Amino acid sequence: MASQDPVQILRERFAAAMRDAFGDALPADADPLISPSRQPELGDYQSNAAMPLAKALGRNPRQIAQELAARLDLSGVAEPVSEKNIAGPGFINVRLSTDALARLLDGLEDHDLGVERPARAQTVVVDLCGVNLAKQMHVGHLRATVIGDALARTNARLGHTVHRQNHLGDWGLPIAMVTDAVMDGVRNGTIDLNALRLSDLERIYRAAQRACDADEKGLDAVKRYGLGPKALAELEEQVAGANERMARAKATLLNLQRHEPETVAVWRRIAQITLDECLAICRRLQANVAEEHTAGESTYAEELAGVVADLESRGVASVSDGALVIDLKDVGIAEPLLIRKSDGGFLYATTDLAGIRRRVQKLGADRVIYAVDARQSLHFRQAFAGAKKAGYARRPDGSDAALIHAAFGTILGEDNRPFKTRSGDNVKLSDLLDEAVARAEAAIAERSPELPAEQRRINAEAIGIAAIKYADLSSDRAKDYVFNFDRMLAFEGDTGPYLLYALVRIRSILRKAAEQGLTPADGAARAALRIGAKEEKDLALTLLRYPGTLQSVADSCEPHRLTNFLHDLAGAFAVFFRECPVLQAETPEMRASRLRLCALTGRVLEDGLGVLGIPTVDRM
RNA sequence: GCCCCGGUAGCUCAGUCUGGAUAGAGCAGCGGUCUUCUAAACCGCAGGUCGCAGGUUCGACUCCUGCCCGGGGCGCCA
């Protein structure tokens, strides 16, 4: 199947002309540099190849452009180029032929919106969501879930095999603390395991952490400055109590590690309560994170000793100040990766190495993508380098899998500080979704009072979620962004609702057309596309960018490239909608052609929003 | 101290990967457009030392060096 993407097609035609014109003199890295035109009045696409080529060959760029133009075969694609299509220092402007444009759109419609099956499907592992036991999801989990899910969907859409991994924080001393506290409560009758909820668990977790935190510094200060026997006694009691709680937590961790049934049963219950709520929120967020994607830290517990022994025996890791570390200076990282504490305990880096090993060796990953906060950047640079050094990222063909940290910035409040509640707590994700939906419902009540209440409720849910996800996905993920309900739910602007509105108008036209017995028929019976008006052409050229955009999202792990595209598409449709009557078109042929254009635009919008995990509505 | 990320219009952001034509959107401001497929839309006007300074280049928001500002990180927490 030939590509439906004019950029691809023109790239091949130009590359052929370049080889033809310059033969062996052609630099190996010579690129046709095809892109949609920056000057639509001059052409649809442009090649900037002549300038770098002129530099490499030490010749005049306009002359190079002319030689390229002379050998360029654009038959069946574009109008022939001549002197008049060469502009400025050597830009070559190309205008698609009308019939080629229609044919490419036919192809887009027939061939999965132009998405070609990959020559070799890759296995892609996406680490996403990343919740912790006994903690509610908060804003920090929004991005890990939404971005991770979008990247997983993008890769799946392109035909790759995707494994989602919810790397649940369900192991280690903090988890033992809360487990111990819950067991305590069960024994003394203050906790009913069956009635226990996540909000209770979170409270218990915090209390347990406080209880284990010995105020040694305070005690030292009291002793040093002689702050009196009362203060001394209080602090001594605090420290003694904390030490005792800590000792019990450590004992509980040992019990977990040796699978002591009672302890494990309580821990399992805590995990299930946490996971149930996490998965419910993911469902509400329309993020595909389900039970089967759970791969908690606890599932690596049995592997860690083996990993550490393996690395030590092969000399990959060595002892430093009592700890076992992988030195990374030879790969340009000053900080060593600690994989075993001097007390023998393992660290989260140890688990991450085991994770890379499992994902590449067992799951067969060609790429592993981590949708994790940017503050973990150094950690992942170290872990990736350590894993490669250990050979854990090695694929059967001997090359290393691509390990990618899709780092994202912090969500900020209006004060430009990390988004918190008034009291300084993390904002619960469920509260955030509730508020977005409530605000959407208010907007709908004002805007569309004619809709039945039930429909308004359904729309509010979809629009609220769409607004939040679009806002999160539409800026460069590396950057921090300021969370603002008013802006993301605004009636106007670059928002989720804007895209949904474009789709609503398309669906409305298609409904009305169907009422008149008109359908944008497929296959042989379908009407010919007649791309005449400027607005039709702009819309058509935008549609053709879709497959290339998807590919670039997958390559860069940057979903905002897709939101930018969809916004362009919705904008091109809005102009088309304004200027080009569909049902009232001048002729039946034009009406049929425009109806197909509407249907195709609707399909691409639906597909793109689906790739981002953004829900849609039929009316608004 | 070292490392990473960011700095583009009054505000919020694209564009930087791979240098290329007068740097683009949205919001806010001003002015237009609904007897016609949903005006949550569209059109126009106005708004810019692309943090600063050098350098490379025919050409720099884009690449290189230094600096300034903001955020984050840096051996036994996860």
Task: Answer yes or no: do A502 and A607 share one domain.
Answer: yes
Protein residue nearest nucleotide B37, by CA to C1': A509
Residue A467 in any domain: the answer is: no
Residue A451 in any domain: the answer is: no
Task: Answer yes or no: do A196 and A300 share one domain.
Answer: no
Task: Answer yes or no: do A283 and A387 share one domain.
Answer: no
Last residue of a domain, one of A287, A317, A332: A287
Nucleotide nearest to A500 (CA to C1'): B40
Residue A1 pLDDT > 60, yes or no? no
Asked if residue A328 lies in contact with residue A311, where contact means CB atoms within 8 angstroms, the answer is: no
Residue A229 in any domain: the answer is: yes
Q: How many CB atoms are closer than 10 A to CB A555?
A: 11
Asked if residue A356 lies in contact with residue A395, where contact means CB atoms within 8 angstroms, the answer is: no
Task: Report the run of H or E that residue A460 belongs to, with start and end.
Answer: helix A453-473
Task: Note the CA–C1' distance, A40 to B53, in angstroms.
Answer: 37
**Alpha-carbon span A186 to A202, nearest angstrom:** 16
Task: Answer yes or no: do A300 and A203 share one domain.
Answer: no
Task: Answer yes or no: do A272 and A368 share one domain.
Answer: no
Asked if residue A33 lies in contact with residue A64, where contact means CB atoms within 8 angstroms, the answer is: no
What's the CATH number where A15 sits?
Answer: 3.30.1360.70
Task: Report the run of H or E that residue A515 belongs to, with start and end.
Answer: helix A496-515
**Alpha-carbon span A49 to A34, nearest angstrom:** 8
pTM over 0.90: yes
Report the pLDDT value the prediction gives residue A523, as an integer from 0 to 100.
62
Task: Answer yes or no: do A529 and A582 share one domain.
Answer: yes
Strand B positions closer than 7 A to protein CB: 2-6, 12-15, 17-22, 25-28, 36-43, 57-59, 71-78
Mean pLDDT for all residues in chain A:
94
Percent of chain A at pLDDT above 70? 99
> Considering its fold, how many domains does chain A have in total?
4
Q: What is the mean pLDDT of residues A193-203?
A: 95
Tokens coding A53: 């080529």
Task: Note the CA–C1' distance, A50 to B54, in angstroms.
Answer: 30
Q: What is the mean pLDDT of residues A216-242?
A: 86
Task: Note the CA–C1' distance, A566 to B11, in angstroms.
Answer: 24
Task: Answer yes or no: do A315 and A341 share one domain.
Answer: yes
Tokens coding A266: 């309580």
Task: Answer yes or no: do A385 and A281 share one domain.
Answer: no
Report the pLDDT value the prediction gives residue A606, as an integer from 0 to 100.
98
Nucleotide nearest to A511 (CA to C1'): B37
Residue A468 in any domain: the answer is: no
Nucleotide nearest to A498 (CA to C1'): B40
**Alpha-carbon span A12 to A47, nearest angstrom:** 12
ipTM of this predicted structure: 0.96
Last residue of a domain, one of A37, A63, A96: A96
Residue A450 in any domain: the answer is: no
Residue A213 in any domain: the answer is: yes
DSSP string of A53-74, one letter each residue: HHHHHTS-HHHHHHHHHHH---
- Range of the structural domain that residue A568 is part of: 496-612
**Alpha-carbon span A236 to A230, nearest angstrom:** 10
Task: Note the CA–C1' distance, A476 to B12, in angstroms.
Answer: 13
Report the pLDDT value the prediction gives residue A564, as an integer from 0 to 100.
97
- Phi, psi values for residue A367, rounded to 5°: -135, 140
Nucleotide nearest to A54 (CA to C1'): B58
**Alpha-carbon span A488 to A504, nearest angstrom:** 18
Asked if residue A355 lies in contact with residue A362, where contact means CB atoms within 8 angstroms, the answer is: no
Closest C-alpha among A210, A215, A130, A124 to residue A167: A130
Residue A200 pLDDT > 80, yes or no? yes
Task: Answer yes or no: do A376 and A400 share one domain.
Answer: yes
Per DSSP bridges, beta strands A323-326 and A337-340 are antiparallel
Confidence of residue A352 (pLDDT cuts 50, 70, 90): very high
Protein residue nearest nucleotide B59, by CA to C1': A89
Task: Answer yes or no: do A240 and A305 share one domain.
Answer: no
Instruction: Give residues with Cβ within 8 angstroms of A129, minimum separation 6.
Output: A141, A144, A145, A148, A166, A167, A278, A282, A287, A289, A293
Last residue of a domain, one of A287, A311, A335: A287
Task: Note the CA–C1' distance, A534 to B28, in angstroms.
Answer: 31
Nucleotide nearest to A376 (CA to C1'): B73
Residue A433 in any domain: the answer is: no
- For the ranges A54-63, A250-259, A278-287, the lowest mean pLDDT is seen at A54-63
Residue A31 in any domain: the answer is: yes
Confidence of residue A2 (pLDDT cuts 50, 70, 90): confident
Residue tagged 């400027």 (tokens): A534
Task: Answer yes or no: do A283 and A304 share one domain.
Answer: no
Task: Answer yes or no: do A501 and A584 share one domain.
Answer: yes
